[in-house]
Amino acid sequence: MAWQCLRAATGRKGWWDAAPSGTPLFAAQQRATLVNVKPKWVKDRALDAAVSRERHLRAAHHLLDLVFSRPGHRVSRSDLLAERSFQRLCGSALEFLGRFHTVFALSRGGVSLTDAALDLRQREVHCLCATEHDLVARLRRLLMLTLPRSLPLHTIDLLRWDLGLPSDYRTSILPRYPGHFTLEQPEGDERVWLRLLSWDDLLAVSELEKSADGGDTTCLPFPVSFTRGFGLRSKSVAWLREWQKLPYTSPYADASGLDRRTDVSEKRNVGVFHELLHLTVAKRTERQNVSNMRKLLGMPQKFTKVFERHPGIFYLSRVRGTQTVVLREAYGGGSQLLEKHAHPLASIREEYSTLLKAALPPRTRGRGGGDGSNSPSECTVTSANLECTQMSRCCIQEDNH
């Protein structure tokens, strides 16, 4: 079945016919050579707007979490100014507090939360409790993506916000699941690692495989869409169609037999990050958050190039002074998560963003990108309508090797 799928996908004759009977599929695939494309980055205002809405949210949430954890939900100014982590996030603490008066209430006694912020925080706590089973499952799946089934806590901390982990997850969540997780410090390593203790085959099913709904998963294509105005030349269309039909390797499967220099291996790499982004609350993360995971994920050098090489699957937003990788399919062309991808925590964060935005002067509320909600900024591309993109403006250069 796999041989037939590969042959039908490429439409070529020769190299697989010469493969001896019984040759492993991975071994034969090493000779697959396709067009090397170099996509041009094209701005997507809707997805930039989605990223921009969190411009002050993390810093505000860090402070909100700190205030909420203190007795009476109040913290003195001296204690607040002593928080180094807050200074790194916010710079001038008092200026930040005064700016977002819809969330923080200043008084001589210190800093407390407004009624609206306190109510929202309590709802968030209830949401975290209600979805803890899902959170633990996603954390287990993240560890299952790695070769050693473990990650340094520092790496998990970088992904903590994106995964929806509470700030005290080490003491509030991990100890309650001794059958799933353990903390260890390998000899000669200063870092503490979180190791997975139990593998679950039911969890080791990627989101792309789930979308097949029990059908054939041998050659699964990725959902692809482009920013409006993004065009493809005929060779790029042919390459994309051919690449989509290559065999799909589950990100949870052993891929040690794949040659990292081939497009078949690249499809596996894309699948790993496609799955990783699905594990996040907002289906996005900063590029630097995964840049140190190369060996742990079994990736080749310069592995994050797949984000640029596949702009129809990922979008690299350059707002907020960093590069944020966004999973296009989760937004459907707008700046809001599609309902089927929306996590309950994501809607609460949107309410936090709205509360912060209400404190800004009217002229600055729209800066950093328009809302773009429900705007048709993308043109979906499937195997049936890839040809329509040939008529668009060219945005891709090609090199044949």
What's the pLDDT score for residue 173? 97
Question: Does the pLDDT at position 12 exceed 50?
Answer: no
Longest dimension (CA), the chain: 82
Whether residue 395 is predicted with pLDDT greater than 60 in this model: the reply is no
pLDDT of residue 5: 42
Residue 396 has pLDDT above 50, yes or no: no
Which pLDDT band holds residue 28 (cuts at 50, 70, 90)? Answer: very low
pLDDT, average across residues 21-40:
50
Q: With a cut of 50, say whether residue 387 has pLDDT above it.
A: no
Residue 371 has pLDDT above 50, yes or no: no
Per-residue pLDDT reduced to its tens digit, 169-195:
999 999 999 999 999 999 999 999 999
Check residues 263 and 126 and name the one with the higher pLDDT: 126
Q: Cβ–Cβ contacts within 10 Å for residue 217, how many?
A: 16
**pTM given for the model:** 0.82
Residue 124 — pLDDT band, cuts 50, 70, 90? very high
- Residue spans per domain, the chain: 32-54+216-361+376-399, 57-127, 129-196
- Residue 363: which pLDDT band, with cuts at 50, 70 and 90? low
Q: What is the pLDDT of residue 393?
A: 32
Question: Is residue 47 a contact partner of residue 326, using CB atoms and an 8 Å limit?
Answer: yes
Q: In this predicted structure, which of 11-15, 47-51, 337-341 has the lowest mean pLDDT?
A: 11-15
Q: Can you give the pLDDT at residue 13? A: 34
CB–CB of 299/255 below 8 Å? no
Q: Is the pLDDT of residue 374 over 80?
A: no
If you ran DSSP here, which 8-state letter would residue 246 be given?
S
Q: Which pair of structure tokens corresponds to residue 72?
A: 């009476």
> How confident is the model at residue 361, as a pLDDT?
83
% of the chain exceeding 90 in pLDDT: 57
Q: Between residues 371 and 94, which one has the greater pLDDT?
A: 94
**Pair 359, 103: CB distance under 8 Å:** yes
Tens of pLDDT, residues 218-234: 899 999 998 877 766 66
Q: Is the pLDDT of residue 365 over 70?
A: no
For residue 379, the model assigns a pLDDT of 44
Question: If you count DSSP H runs as helices and E runs as strands, how many of each does the chain have, helices first?
Answer: 17, 13
85 in helix, strand or coil? helix
Which residues fall within 8 angstroms of residue 200, CB to CB, at 6 or more apart?
Answer: 140, 144
Q: pLDDT of 233-261, one tens digit each?
A: 667 778 888 999 999 999 999 988 888 88
Q: Which of the four pLDDT bands, split at 50, 70 and 90, describes residue 385?
A: very low
Write down the mean pLDDT value for the chain: 82
Residues 6+ apart with CB under 8 A from 227: 42, 43, 44, 311, 315, 377, 378
More confident residue, 128 or 80: 128
